Structure 1
Amino acid sequence: MTLVVIGPATKDLIVIGDESSQKIGGATYYQSFVFEEFYKDYLAIVNCGDDSLICDFPNLDKVNVISKDNTHYFINKYPFKDNLDIREQVSNFAQIPILKSDLESVLPDKIDAFVLNPLNRYDFPKETVEYLKTFNVPIFISVQGFLRVPDGEVNENYTIRLDGNDELKDIFRGVQAIFLDEEEANIMCLDFDVDEIVVTNASHGSRIIADGEIKIDAVMCDDVVDTTGCGDTYMAAYISQRLLLKSPKNSGDFASEIASHKIRYDGPYKMKK
């Protein structure tokens, strides 16, 4: 089964306490490392204005680039080294939407599922999502980008405010699963026509709303190094198991374990030794 994972590659500045580092980021980037290990038949499609950002992807043969005139830029600031659940974030809010016309030339002939990873609400216009629904395959969506709007300006970037919008019910209607965190869930009603809603809560675990609600315990880690991309890692690990017909509970437990392994190392998921 060919899994098509779509979303921006980003330039990130990670600040932990008084230490900072420049990195490649974006949900599709972090997820590619998980799929490369656990679901090898995938294709990553990324939109950005700098093709060099794909150089660090785990398998360049599985990346297609949609060239745009700008690139997403994020500053992820963790003010407390001993509590990496707390993050302050700003972005340039690049307006580089992925359009139907962009995808028609880069999609493979055979597609068995989509993963959509918007980083702001400009990335996936409603018309693009509706086009992807015509393939009649499972669609998995990260909610966070659809809720992000620019707030106050900070040195030519913008702080991020979360806000729902009236189109979300239509955008999510009929998809396999949506993924969001508890902060995002708290600002919106979870009354969507989807098969599964996966809500993560960092070190407090996660819950899956399918037939009832399933609680997934976090796999605790005493040596936390880097939590950036942890939610993206969880999402990819969960999807990899659901596509292998594992249950939501088993998929959630597996995703929790993989996310716990990821935060022990700097950068994206690294294969367990």
Structure 2
Amino acid sequence: MFDICCIGHLTHDKVVTTKKEVHMAGGTSFYFSNAIRNMDLSYGLVTALGQDEIRFALALREKGIDVQVLPSTHTVYFENIYSGNLDHRTQRVLQIADPFTVEQLADVQATVFHLGPLLAHDMPLELIQSLAARAKVSLDVQGFLRKVENQQVLPIDWADKHAALRHIHILKANEHEMEALTKQTDPRTGARMLNDWGVQEVLITLGSKGSIIYSEGIFYDIPAYVPAAVTDATGCGDTYMAGYLYQRHHGAGFQEAGEFAAAMASLKIESSGPFSGTYEDILALLKQGQKVMPVA
């Protein structure tokens, strides 16, 4: 029985610049797992990989993470090619993984399941319903809003959103994902709508402008903490969610949990790769960091 269990595909990310080509693991589950692995709770990851990428799961196990690997015909494989000044990216999806099924997850138990779909087909509605029947479900909605067609990532609406969101306790979306879901441009209006659809805790991240949390009819304005340097934003949202769920698990209120999450995300953006800070680093930033309050 885990306190928190993340379900999501690890990815094989190929990054090509004019200077080098790098192959690395990635995906919501990768960044979330690395961010939460040293926290005082019971954590597990359920992922699916093709045989050639089992090494990604083994590397996480070497860090002390409990990883269950389900079989998949392929691993999700992203190719990102950057121009000389890094301001333009061409992305292709060279492989997709098999979706998770109700049967595969039937014996996994947790207090909270955090879902990190990468693409719309990753997790069927029936799986969300099955998980919600035995635990709280947290969702990073990004993957349900995109599909692959001819190796290209295309934006879509989530066909099952009304049926699914009534089973989601905690939802994270950035302002663009919120607009795609609700057709609203104002984050507060969108957050209220998502709450009306059944989500009990709505988290809308606004990048460097902070974030807002809406629950029980109350908005909580969460500041962004100004980082010492902006190096790599990849995985910041996943790091935010790790901090938030950790704090909520230990009884923190919405404001406290949100600020802790925001501080973790700020520390993450200061370096490449997954979160590598300490609890003490987070507390120091909370105490001394420069804040930018959301204006939404």
Q: Is contact 2:49-2:97 (8 Å) kept?
A: no
Q: Secondary structure at the match of 2:127?
A: helix
Q: Secondary structure at the match of 2:33?
A: helix
Q: Is contact 2:34-2:275 (8 Å) kept?
A: yes
Unaligned regions of 5+ residues in structure 2, if any? 183-189, 282-296
CA drift of 1:99 comes to 0.2
Map 1:1-273 onto structure 2 (within 5 A): 2-14=3-15, 20-49=21-50, 50-57=53-60, 59-60=63-64, 62-76=66-80, 89-92=91-94, 94-105=96-107, 107-108=108-109, 111-135=110-134, 137-151=135-149, 153=150, 157-158=151-152, 160-189=153-182, 190=190, 191=193, 192-210=197-215, 211-272=217-278
Number of residues of Structure 1 aligned to a counterpart in Structure 2: 262
2: distance between equivalents of 1:247 and 1:198?
A: 14
2:285 matched residue in structure 1: none
Amino acid at match of 1:74: F
Amino acid at match of 2:262: S
Q: Is contact 2:233-2:269 (8 Å) kept?
A: yes
2: distance between equivalents of 1:240 and 1:174?
A: 21
Amino acid at match of 2:9: P
CA drift of 1:238 comes to 0.9
Of all paired residues, the percent bearing the same amino acid is 27
Q: Is contact 1:13-1:22 (8 Å) kept?
A: yes
Q: Secondary structure at the match of 1:214?
A: strand
Taking only aligned residues, the RMSD between alpha carbons, in angstroms, comes to: 2.4
Unaligned regions of 5+ residues in structure 1, if any? none
1: distance between equivalents of 2:248 and 2:201?
A: 11
1:74 and 1:185, CA in 2 relative to 1: closer, same or farther beyond 3 A? same
1: distance between equivalents of 2:249 and 2:17?
A: 35
2: distance between equivalents of 1:181 and 1:87?
A: 20
Q: Is contact 2:146-2:156 (8 Å) kept?
A: yes
**TM-score normalised to the size of structure 2?**
0.80
2: distance between equivalents of 1:82 and 1:271?
A: 26
2: distance between equivalents of 1:163 and 1:215?
A: 29
1:14 and 1:201, CA in 2 relative to 1: closer, same or farther beyond 3 A? farther
1:204 and 1:16, CA in 2 relative to 1: closer, same or farther beyond 3 A? farther
Q: Radius of gyration: which is bigger?
A: 2
1: distance between equivalents of 2:176 and 2:82?
A: 17
CA drift of 1:80 comes to 8.9
From the two aligned structures, give the one with the greater helix fraction: 2
Deviation digits for residues 31-89 of structure 1 (CA, Å, limit 9, x no counterpart): 11222122430111111213222122164551100111011112346669798xx8764
Greater alpha carbon shift after TM alignment, 263-272 vs 74-83: 74-83
1: distance between equivalents of 2:82 and 2:206?
A: 17
1:74 and 1:82, CA in 2 relative to 1: closer, same or farther beyond 3 A? closer
2: distance between equivalents of 1:20 and 1:253?
A: 36
2: distance between equivalents of 1:76 and 1:172?
A: 31
